[in-house]
Structure 1
Amino acid sequence: MRQNKYDEAAFFDSYSRMSRSVEGLNAAGEWHELQTLLPDLKQKHVLDLGCGFGWHCRYAREQQAKSVIGVDLSENMLRRARELTDDSQIEYQQMAIEDIHFEQNRFDVVISSLALHYVEHIDEVFAKIHHCLVKGGTLVLSVEHPIFTARAEQDWHYGPDGEILHWPVDHYHNEGQRTANFLNQDVVKYHRTLATYINELVRAGFIIQQVAESKPSPEMMEQVPGMSDENRRPMFLMIAAMKA
């Protein structure tokens, strides 16, 4: 069974109230960096894996992508994506990322934002992405940073008065399943090291083009209380890779 928390009513309701769910990409703390990793999308065929509400799908069309397919396992996610989308060149398909079987050379660009840390066998997914990309095509992904996923607690270490002391990292090289608390519910994620992400991409036939570790934009630093603590450790890892 593929994990599908977003079709649970209470979980989806909590997720829908998050600022990034309401305001879209401009409320996503990593978007100002992820956006710079994307290639020119004009006249490109784009695949979005774990598309959620379809924010990246619609962005691709705003950048004049020729066609976009968004894939997500959640019926709730896709229902909201379709409600927000009025574009015949965007198609949404319900399936798990692990189950994609697109034909060879179908897409110019594949995007996956904050979805692949829910996938157990990342090597199989990278191979499928490589298969459906054209030669020279680009994969741009973001995941929770390995520093963030190493401990299932995914939280700061606090002092006696509740002050933030540091971000603890432990069991870093012990890759595998973590049961983390997200939106007050248990969610299964998969921790893997930074080296594993990069090496599995290389083994799948990709050339690494750029790696970024998230940090707040100057605007968020000014506008969002407590955002300065996000500079103390990266929450997200972003990679751009090209099919050799």
Structure 2
Amino acid sequence: MKENKYDDPGFFANYSRMLRSVEGLSAAGEWEAFSKLLPPLQNKRVLDLGCGFGWHCRYVMEQQAASVTGVDLSEKMLEKAHELNSGPGITYRQQAIEDIAFEDGIFDVVISSLALHYVEHYDVVCRKVFNCLAEGGSFVFSIEHPVFTARAAQDWYYDEAGNRLHWPVDHYQGEGRRVTRFLGNDVIKYHRTVATLLNGLLAAGFRITQVEEPPPSPSVLEKYPEMKDELRRPIFLLVAAVKP
């Protein structure tokens, strides 16, 4: 059974109050870098894996895509997506990312934002994405950076006064399940090294075109100065790849 923490009422309530939940892509520190990795979307058939509230689906259609299918395991997330980001060309499907089974070559672009660290079998997802993409299709995803996921604590090292001294990295090579605290709840994530993430794409047949480890953009930092410590270590890894 895939974990579906987002349908827990308390967890979902906390998630709904996050800046990126309330304000959408403008409050996402990695969005500026992520958007630059996307290919032209006009007339493209797009799949969004782990679509959440549907902010990316809305953006895709604003770029005049032909259609977008948003996939998410959470019923509550999809209810919110229908409420906030529905419209012509947008279809939502309740399903685990690992369980997708689309026809070969049915999409031109597949995107995924901060969802793949919840997936146990990353290599399987890479192969399924490769198969459902048309030739020349693009796969662009963001994920929590392995520097961030290596330790289950996912927290800073503090001095006695509570000041953040540094971000500790340990057990980096020990890939696998991590039980972390997120929004006051235990949440299961999966840590993988950068090498595993990139080699999984190569093994599936992809050609990697760009890799980014973006800090929050200046505009986001100006609007949300509390994000300044995100400049001290990478929190996101962004990857763009194409199906030859």
Q: Same fold (TM over 0.5)?
A: yes
2:114 corresponds to: 114
Looking at structure 1, the residues matched to 216 and 90 of structure 2 have their Cα atoms a distance apart, in angstroms, of 30
Tell me the amino acid that sits aligned with residue 149 of structure 1.
Answer: T
1:92 aligns with 2:92: yes
Tell me the amino acid that sits aligned with residue 92 of structure 1.
Answer: Y
Q: Deviations over 1:142-169 (max 9, x none)?
A: 0000000000000010111111110000
1:82 aligns with 2:86: no
1:196 aligns with 2:196: yes
TM-score (structure 2 length as normaliser): 0.98
Tell me the amino acid that sits aligned with residue 39 of structure 1.
Answer: P
Tell me the amino acid that sits aligned with residue 232 of structure 1.
Answer: R
Q: How does 1:55-66 map to 2 (within 5 A)?
A: 55-66=55-66
The percentage of counterpart residues that share the same residue type is 62
Measured after TM superposition, the shift of residue 51 of structure 1 is 0.3
SS of residue paired to 1:143? strand
Structure 1 runs not aligned, ≥5 long: none
Q: Contact conserved, 2:30 with 2:216, CA < 8 A, in 1?
A: yes
2:123 corresponds to: 123
- The farther-off stretch of 135-144 and 80-89 is 80-89
2:37 corresponds to: 37
Specify whether residues 86 and 200 from structure 1 end up closer, same or farther in structure 2 by C-alpha distance, changes over 3 A only.
Answer: closer
Tell me the amino acid that sits aligned with residue 175 of structure 1.
Answer: E
RMSD in angstroms over aligned alpha carbons? 0.8
| Count of residues paired in the alignment | 244
Q: Deviations over 1:115-171 (max 9, x none)?
A: 000001100000000000001100000000000000000001011111111000000
Looking at structure 1, the residues matched to 198 and 103 of structure 2 have their Cα atoms a distance apart, in angstroms, of 25
Q: Contact conserved, 2:57 with 2:85, CA < 8 A, in 1?
A: no
Q: Contact conserved, 2:29 with 2:216, CA < 8 A, in 1?
A: yes
Measured after TM superposition, the shift of residue 221 of structure 1 is 2.5
SS of residue paired to 2:39? coil
Measured after TM superposition, the shift of residue 219 of structure 1 is 1.7
Q: Deviations over 1:61-92 (max 9, x none)?
A: 00000011000000000011011134121000
Q: Deviations over 1:153-203 (max 9, x none)?
A: 000101111111100000000000000000000000000000100001000
2:177 corresponds to: 177
Looking at structure 1, the residues matched to 45 and 224 of structure 2 have their Cα atoms a distance apart, in angstroms, of 36
SS of residue paired to 1:226? helix
Measured after TM superposition, the shift of residue 225 of structure 1 is 2.8
TM-score (structure 1 length as normaliser): 0.98
Looking at structure 2, the residues matched to 65 and 222 of structure 1 have their Cα atoms a distance apart, in angstroms, of 31
